[in-house]
Amino acid sequence: MDRFDAVWVNARLATMTHGRPYGAIDDGAIAVKDGLIAWVGPRAALPDGGEIQHDAGGRWITPGLIDCHTHLVFGGDRAEEFEMRLNGATYEEIARAGGGIASSVTRTRAASEDQLYQSGARRLKALMSEGVTTVEIKSGYGLDIENEAKMLRVARRLGATLPATVITTFLGAHAMPPGFEGQSSDYIALVAGPMMDRIVAENLADAVDVFAESIAFSPEEAAIVFEAARRHGLPVKLHADQLSDQGGAALAARFGALSAEHLEYASEAGIAAMGEAGTVAVLLPGAYYFLRDTTMPPIAAMRRHGVDIAIASDCNPGSSPAVSLLLMLNMACTLFRLTPEEALSGVTRVAAKALGLNDRGILETGKRADFVLWDVSHPAELSYWIGAKPAHRIVRGGGILEMSP
Ligand SMILES: [Zn+2]
């Protein structure tokens, strides 16, 4: 029996482990066995074994990219709202007028599972074509038991049928559904009770998320949902402090959340609490860009308090219709002034942490053999180009993916 199934040589490796910039290894090799990285290091030290030798042609190899925050399963789109906003309406005005998330709820409820699968698959394939091998998908446009379960079944099916790992998140507390006006405590009781019970019974969610915001749910309501998640043994995350400081960062930290997202208005104390708790900050530059926000997330405070920073597409119909994670790297650097190395860490090593996944995100022995060969001469190019398609080969679980256009 061969020691390795295949060996990749003549590669420059961005292992994204600590130590040197990008964890780089100049003349590197990766050996895979049974879907895992069996050996990685300088080619000169590569042990014998392995029938198949792939020549990487001197290309850079990074871990497979991880998009740790998306809402990519939804009905319809919101291009008309985009136009409304350009005619002067604000995000909050649209939300209060029954548009915004509510219009996506109507269309998602009306869509069949097959329709949601088809449109979701298109968006997921667009992400995958750039080298994304793991993606998180949230519910939150169903907002009743049947339709939240439907969305999450579609997300599970995407993961079962396409060559990407899909991690699902139950976001029943995304918005107030029609019919619950002025009864948010009743709706939260439904989300934290029968809705979550059903989601857990069908094993549809890997984590639980809440949108804590002046136009959505209060920190106290988020805490009720988190307590329920804790009883079910599910990790939590929080859409926090996107439009105003709601104390969301501190709340996420108090519950030991995997991650808190957006954080444009988070306080320094909240960021410090996240650093203590090891809660990842997930920055979503696509939403910042698309909403033409002007308040940057407190990046300096995050660095000061040792908060790990992830970057994600936030792919959703209202505030970030983004199906390019590489564009998000560029925006993280241009809009948020992250370094290209921080940005790449944010879609590999740190994104894995934001999803609670220990088996990927870096090139290291024992991790999943998910990696991408790039037609670039330096990893900074992944953040630098706008609209380039530099993925040369995508390897998932040790096998080369054939990506259909
Ligand atoms: Zn989101």
179 C-alpha to ligand 1 centroid (Å): 23
Q: What phi, psi does 46 have (nearest 5°)? A: -65, 125
Structural tokens at position 305: 């308090």
What residues have CB less than 8 Å from 317, skipping those under 6 apart?
71, 74, 76, 77, 78, 104
Structural tokens at position 200: 């857990």
Structural tokens at position 277: 């708790």
In the predicted model, what is the mean pLDDT of residues 341-370?
98
What residues have CB less than 8 Å from 1, skipping those under 6 apart?
none
Nearest residue to 237 (alpha-carbon basis) of 221, 260, 267, 266:
260
User: What string of H, E and C letters represents the secondary structure of the chain?
Assistant: CCCCCEEEEEEEEECCCCCCHHHEEEEEEEEEECCEEEEEEEHHHCCCCCCEEEECCCCEEEECEEECCCCCCCCCCCHHHHHHHHCCCCHHHHHHCCCCHHHHHHHHHHCCHHHHHHHHHHHHHHHHCCCEEEEEEECCCCCCHHHHHHHHHHHHHHHHHCCCEEEEEEEEECCCCCCCCCCHHHHHHHHHHHHHHHHHHCCCCCEEEEEECCCCECHHHHHHHHHHHHHCCCCEEEEECCCCCCCHHHHHHHCCCCEEEECCCCCHHHHHHHHHHCCEEEECHHHHHHCCCCCCCCHHHHHHCCCCEEECCCCECCCECCCCHHHHHHHHHHHHCCCHHHHHHHCCHHHHHHCCCCCCCCCCCCCECCEEEECCCCCCHHHHCCCCCCEEEEEECCEECCCCC
Give me the chain's average pLDDT, please: 95
Residue 59 pLDDT greater than 50, yes or no: yes
10 C-alpha to ligand 1 centroid (Å): 39
287 C-alpha to ligand 1 centroid (Å): 9
Other residues' Cβ atoms within 10 Å of the Cβ of residue 44: 8
**Residues by chain with Cβ below 5 Å of ion ligand 1:** 314
Structural tokens at position 188: 């939260």
CA distance 169 to 348: 19
71 C-alpha to ligand 1 centroid (Å): 6
Structural tokens at position 352: 């894995």
pLDDT of residue 387: 95
pLDDT of residue 91: 74
Structural tokens at position 386: 């706008």
Q: What phi, psi does 49 have (nearest 5°)? A: 120, 140
Residue 402 — pLDDT band, cuts 50, 70, 90? confident
135 C-alpha to ligand 1 centroid (Å): 13
242 C-alpha to ligand 1 centroid (Å): 10
44 C-alpha to ligand 1 centroid (Å): 45
Residue linked to tokens 């482990």: 17
Give tens-digit pLDDT for 84-141: 888 998 878 777 766 778 889 999 999 999 999 999 999 999 999 999 999 999 999 9
How do strand 236-240 and strand 259-262 relate by DSSP bridges?
parallel
pLDDT of residue 405: 44
182 C-alpha to ligand 1 centroid (Å): 24
Structural tokens at position 31: 């050996």
CA distance 188 to 186: 5
Domains plus CATH for the chain?
Answer: 6-63+361-400 (2.30.40.10), 65-354 (3.20.20.140)
Give tens-digit pLDDT for 162-207: 999 999 999 999 999 989 988 999 999 999 999 999 999 999 999 9
Residue 348 pLDDT greater than 90, yes or no: yes
CA distance 72 to 65: 16
Of all residues in the chain, what percent carry a pLDDT higher than 70?
A: 98
Single pTM value for the model:
0.96
